[in-house]
């Protein structure tokens, strides 16, 4: 049976990868969609290809958007498909990192590299920084795109530097890897220079012919990014010193040791690192001892630490520009996934420094294996506690019930916002049931029903917030002829929102329709018209309920009939939110 003493490093590297992959599968089996996972398909489902290049929350990521839209079309609201994609990307990343390590740090007869291989690979695969990103579909595509692109490029670069006569195919493969990563995250602009630096630490030379393709693509893509986003030039960047101590103490330093072990979550936010004070102090002390001991053995290694710190400060500067706002930066920077790229680079350049300037102490290989085991155990504890922090997330059950309810209901259900625990009104207009599910929106129903907070269909009624006027046409109320429009006054002006109108209307002839808008002084006519709702009007007088998006103190009604003599009679009706009865 193979053991850690096996001659081929692939034996135990494969074992480590399988263990880390099993942990990732467990994590994903407990997760579901979150926030951007629902908003991105809703926003780009009907968009053109060029729209995919638009900035989304400061990111330019057409490939990631395309993958999410495709996944939504293949298996709407089914997290199994995204989970499988994440697992495949994770496995590929692990494989290419293993291949790159064995080439970047070639074995030597005079040195036992088992400890270096093991500790480096465990730090990469069990990374709590990458773990937090992998549990979130949108973030996983961004982060794993960078990780996989970096791993493939590093593998190709290690081949090229060790075999200078083989440049063409490694350069082509690296270029394709960089291009693919660039479409998944603008952070991939850093891949080519960072991989080149990592290889340079080892070999002190750069083969520029190999780097022509990756660097040219990166420069070209930089123009695409900077022409489509202003994330790097905020007018009000957050002061780094406001949250740097909290970030380092509660997130980054514990994360270096496989922590933070303890998480908090304030619904509907992400889980954020929240270790107790005694654990924080212990983590800082242990990390300081390890780093000082590593540098003390060979002081020349200190240069790698400088590079790691510099890259970290660049990330913090970007966060300060991209994620501003009082009270927001502290919690955001404690979610760990922002540092996955920094951690990968730091692990590799520190490993390169260890390989290039080795210590003469013979016990170190065994010590590194012990540290690797402790790191894997620590990271496993962190993963389990992170999963537990999401236990009260109702999104998975709600989405499953919502999908079933809309598929099985016999009567149309009007559009409505999803619960705050799933998406907040800040995501309007993408926080409604039909935006989330991608189903065709219903604007009229004869049976008032809503989806409750569990995702089930329940009887409903309009909670009166206002009422439309009666009108003065005898035995008609408000008469509107075909081809004409009329302003209907509301007795209590409404704020902007998604309202339901109890429609008491009757048409003189079949085939008559009514278009409803809410003109106001805060929008242009084009903006108001973009929310117009057109519904058929029955020739039988019966109560109906119609969606009225917008706000203000008036409703404009336009009638279109089979001939100019067609008209509708419109009576007074309540308008307000649709709420469950009882």
pLDDT in tens, 429-440: 999 999 999 999
Q: Among 352, 279, 335, which residue's Cα sits nearest to residue 130? A: 335
Give the relative orientation of helices 137-162 and 191-203 as an angle to the nearest 10 degrees. Answer: 40
Q: What integer pLDDT is reported at residue 274 of this predicted model?
A: 92
Residue 240 has pLDDT above 70, yes or no: no
Per-residue confidence at 236, pLDDT binned at 50, 70, 90? Answer: low
Calculate the alpha carbon distances from 195 to 178, 184, 305, 316, 339 in Å.
Answer: 11, 18, 16, 21, 17
CA distance 91 to 77: 24
* pLDDT tens digits, one per residue of 306-350: 889 999 988 888 777 766 555 455 677 888 999 999 999 999 999
Report the Cα 185 to chain-centroid distance in Å. 11
The label of the residue with tokens 């020739």 reads 539
Per-residue confidence at 220, pLDDT binned at 50, 70, 90? Answer: very high
DSSP 5-46: T-S-HHHHHHHHHHHHHHHHHHHHHT----THHHHHHHHHTT
* pLDDT tens digits, one per residue of 544-557: 999 999 999 999 99
Q: State both tokens at 552.
A: 């203000």
- DSSP 3-state percent helix, strand, coil across the chain (nearest 5): 55, 15, 30
* pLDDT tens digits, one per residue of 17-70: 999 999 999 999 999 999 999 999 999 999 999 999 998 988 899 999 999 999
Residue ranges covered by each domain of the chain: 9-228+294-305+337-389, 466-580
Is the CATH number 2.60.120.260 carried by domain 466-580? yes
Q: State both tokens at 33.
A: 């969609």
Give the relative orientation of helices 137-162 and 340-356 as an angle to the nearest 10 degrees. Answer: 20
Q: What integer pLDDT is reported at residue 482 of this predicted model?
A: 93
Q: What integer pLDDT is reported at residue 216 of this predicted model?
A: 96
531 vs 67 pLDDT, higher one: 67
In contact, 548 and 490? CB cutoff 8 Å: no
The label of the residue with tokens 């951007």 reads 36
473 vs 386 pLDDT, higher one: 386
Strongest mean pLDDT among 60-69, 167-176, 278-287, 424-433: 60-69
In contact, 142 and 56? CB cutoff 8 Å: no
In contact, 360 and 206? CB cutoff 8 Å: no
The label of the residue with tokens 């300037």 reads 357
């Amino acid at each position: 049976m193979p053991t850690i003493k096996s001659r081929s490093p692939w034996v135990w590297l494969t074992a480590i990868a399988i263990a880390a992959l099993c942990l990732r599968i467990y994590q994903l089996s407990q997760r579901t969609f979150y926030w951007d996972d629902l908003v991105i398909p809703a926003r780009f489902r009907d968009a053109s290809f060029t729209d995919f290049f638009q900035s989304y929350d400061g990111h330019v990521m057409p490939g990631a958007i395309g993958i999410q839209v495709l996944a939504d079309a293949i298996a709407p609201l089914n997290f199994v498909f995204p989970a499988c994609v994440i697992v495949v990307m994770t496995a590929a990343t692990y494989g290419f990192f293993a291949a790159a390590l064995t080439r970047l740090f070639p074995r030597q007869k005079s040195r036992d590299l088992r400890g270096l291989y093991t500790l480096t690979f465990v730090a990469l695969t069990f990374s709590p920084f990458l773990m937090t990103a992998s549990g979130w579909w949108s973030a996983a595509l961004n982060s794993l795109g960078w990780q996989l692109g970096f791993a493939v490029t590093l593998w190709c670069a290690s081949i090229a530097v060790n075999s200078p006569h083989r440049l063409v195919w490694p350069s082509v493969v690296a270029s394709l890897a960089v291009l693919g990563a660039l479409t998944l995250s603008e952070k991939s602009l850093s891949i080519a220079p960072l991989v080149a630096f990592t290889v340079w630490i080892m070999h002190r030379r750069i083969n520029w012919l190999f780097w022509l393709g990756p660097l040219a693509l990166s420069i070209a893509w930089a123009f695409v990014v900077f022409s489509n986003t202003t994330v790097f030039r905020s007018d009000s960047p957050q002061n780094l010193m406001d949250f740097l101590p909290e970030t380092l103490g509660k997130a980054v330093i514990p994360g270096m040791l496989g922590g933070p072990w303890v998480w908090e979550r304030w619904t509907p936010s992400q889980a954020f690192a929240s270790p107790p004070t005694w654990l924080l102090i212990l983590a800082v002390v242990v990390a300081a001892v390890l780093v000082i001991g590593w540098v003390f053995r060979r002081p020349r290694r200190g240069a790698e630490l400088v590079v790691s710190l510099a890259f970290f400060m660049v990330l913090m500067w970007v966060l300060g520009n991209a994620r501003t706002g009082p009270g927001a930066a502290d919690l955001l920077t404690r979610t760990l996934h922002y540092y996955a790229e920094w951690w990968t680079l730091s692990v590799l350049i520190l490993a390169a420094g260890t390989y290039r300037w080795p210590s003469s102490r013979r016990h170190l290989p065994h010590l590194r294996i012990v540290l690797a085991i402790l790191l894997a155990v620590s990271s496993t504890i962190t993963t389990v506690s992170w999963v537990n922090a999401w236990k009260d997330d109702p999104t998975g059950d709600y989405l499953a019930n919502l999908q079933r309810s809309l598929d099985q209901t016999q009567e149309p259900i009007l559009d409505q916002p999803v619960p705050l625990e799933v998406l907040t009104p800040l995501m309007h207009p993408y926080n409604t049931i039909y935006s989330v599910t991608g189903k065709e929106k219903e604007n009229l129903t004869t049976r008032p029903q809503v989806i409750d907070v569990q995702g089930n269909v329940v009887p409903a009624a309009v909670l009166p917030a206002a009422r439309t006027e009666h009108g003065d046409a005898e035995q008609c109320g408000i008469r509107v002829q075909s081809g004409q429009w009329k302003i209907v006054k509301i007795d209590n002006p409404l704020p902007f929102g998604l309202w339901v109108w109890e429609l008491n209307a009757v048409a003189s002839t079949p085939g008559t329709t009514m278009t409803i808008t809410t003109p106001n002084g805060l929008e242009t006519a084009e903006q108001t018209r973009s929310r117009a709702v057109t519904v058929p009007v029955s020739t039988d007088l019966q109560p109906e309920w119609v969606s009225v998006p917008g706000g203000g103190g008036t409703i404009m009604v336009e009638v279109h009939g089979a001939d100019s003599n067609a008209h509708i009679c419109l009576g007074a009706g309540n308008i307000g939110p649709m709420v469950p009865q009882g």
